[in-house]
Amino acid sequence: MNRLSTPTAATPFTTPWGTFDLTRFPEDPRERLRAWDAADEYLLRHLAGESDSAQGEATELTGRTVVVLGDRWGALTTALAAALTTASTTPSTMASTALSTAAPVQISDSHLGRQATLANLARSGAAPDAARLLTTRETPPERIDVLLVRVPKSLALLEDQLHRLAPAVGPGTVVIGTGMVTEIHTSTLQLFERILGPTRTSLAARKARLIFCTPDPALDPGPSPWPHTYALPGDIGPASGRTVVNHAGTFCAERLDIGTRFLLGHLPVAAPGARVVDLGCGNGVLGTAAALASPGAELVFLDESHQAVASAEATFRANLGPDAPAEFLTADALGPDAVPAGSVDLVLNNPPFHSHQATTDATAWRMFTGARRALRPGGELWVVGNRHLGYHLKLRRLFGNCELVAGNPKFVVLRAVRR
């Protein structure tokens, strides 16, 4: 293999509308993974009429409502913002015309993805209004002319979002999906078919594929089957038999995770008035169980996924009532923008070991670091994890202590105290 031709995180993203130096979020100089891939490139080349499947014909973007669903780190949004800015710049004056109607609309579930998009737009020199960034929970545009879908890892999220966007898609809407070959399955295409209309795929190029869907106005896909609700098992302490609400894309949306279950069996009780953070809350099962076990505790639910935070709020409300006080935050780890330093008594955490298609312990490390900063002296971080992940080493390095609360052949519950 020619090592020089292997793209690295620093390889610029070359598109028909310019070359961009993109970053993931948070920016890390040691990062080896790029913020774009061949699926992003393929879609943009197709839109510019430069792919085999486009047969020389560019997709009309100017003056149209272009929606990008599931853009990972803002590569598509940044390039399209440049495309639409170029298109709306008059050659005589080279002055940019108003962008509010031309700006691409990004719809993303990820706080990290949104922060990366903001950073990448700024790096590209784009104006602050060069793109409109919406979350998967916000009302989408009423009419969509061009719908571009970066196929998400979660089929459930795709299903739910296609249902949400279907009313804005008309017979004239151009719908194109993109993904790496390994990300596009028969079930992915069936979703497009079932919710929007007839669907076919392109030939693969550099292990990426496009999805072409022709909206069928006669199709009635019915309502989204999300959110899903399930009841917790009967032997897990104060949360036994309680309801868990899961919006699409949330971790373990169909049943309780076995690691989470192990921590539920060993959950500490917090004093009245104690501030407890469910860090990486997912559907909020840990924080809700803590609230049930510790009357008077103040709960904070935090996740980088908007779908997760909405699920946690729904789970908490279903069990503690509509007016019970709690905070629900979409943020990265437990950084300075989330809660003040030294303000928290207890952090509960089942860290992810996958982040955005990559297997990494970087997020766990950021979560432990954030927890240490957020905890008051004497405050505790309780972590559940696979035994083989060796979280105790990280916790000992950060906190100077780490105690094994419970273990089974697969999982450990660890406790670290902020001295």
| Residue 288 touching ligand SAM (CB under 6 A) | no
Instruction: Output the smallest distance, CB 282 to ligand SAM, in A.
Output: 3
Q: CA nearest 74: which of 356, 307, 364, 359?
A: 356
| Residue 285 touching ligand SAM (CB under 6 A) | yes
Q: CA nearest 165: which of 62, 248, 100, 68?
A: 68
Region of 227 on the Ramachandran plot (φ > 0 left; ψ -120 to 50 alpha; else beta): beta
| Residue 308 touching ligand SAM (CB under 6 A) | yes
**Cα-based distances in Å from 286 to 50, 88, 266, 268, 307:** 50, 50, 11, 11, 16
Nearer to ligand SAM, 13 or 368 (CB): 368
| Residue 304 touching ligand SAM (CB under 6 A) | yes
Instruction: Output the smallest distance, CB 210 to ligand SAM, in A.
Output: 28
- Give the DSSP letter string of 125-138: T--TTSSEEEETTS
Binding residues for ligand SAM, rule CB under 6 A, total 20
Instruction: Output the smallest distance, CB 405 to ligand SAM, in A.
Output: 16
| Residue 73 touching ligand SAM (CB under 6 A) | no
Q: CA nearest 53: which of 178, 188, 150?
A: 178
- 232's CB contacts (< 8 A; 6+ apart) are 239, 240, 241, 242, 243, 244, 256, 285
| Residue 154 touching ligand SAM (CB under 6 A) | no
Structure tokens belonging to residue 66: 């272009």
Instruction: Output the smallest distance, CB 149 to ligand SAM, in A.
Output: 20
Pairing status of strand 105-108 against strand 66-69: parallel
Give 18: exposed, middle or buried? Use CB within 10 Å, 0-12, 13-18, 19+.
Answer: middle
Q: Which stretch binds ligand SAM (CB under 6 A): 94-102, 133-141, 156-164, 275-283?
A: 275-283
| Residue 352 touching ligand SAM (CB under 6 A) | yes
Residue among 152, 280, 379, 385 that touches ligand SAM (CB under 6 A): 280
Please tell me the distance from the alpha carbon of residue 419 to that of residue 157, in angstroms, as a whole number.
Answer: 41
| Residue 332 touching ligand SAM (CB under 6 A) | yes
Instruction: Output the smallest distance, CB 277 to ligand SAM, in A.
Output: 11
Interaction mask 112-131, ligand SAM, x per CB under 6 A: x-------------------
Q: Contact residues for ligand SAM (CB under 6 A)?
A: 112, 251-252, 257, 260, 280-282, 285-286, 303-305, 308, 332-333, 350, 352, 355, 363
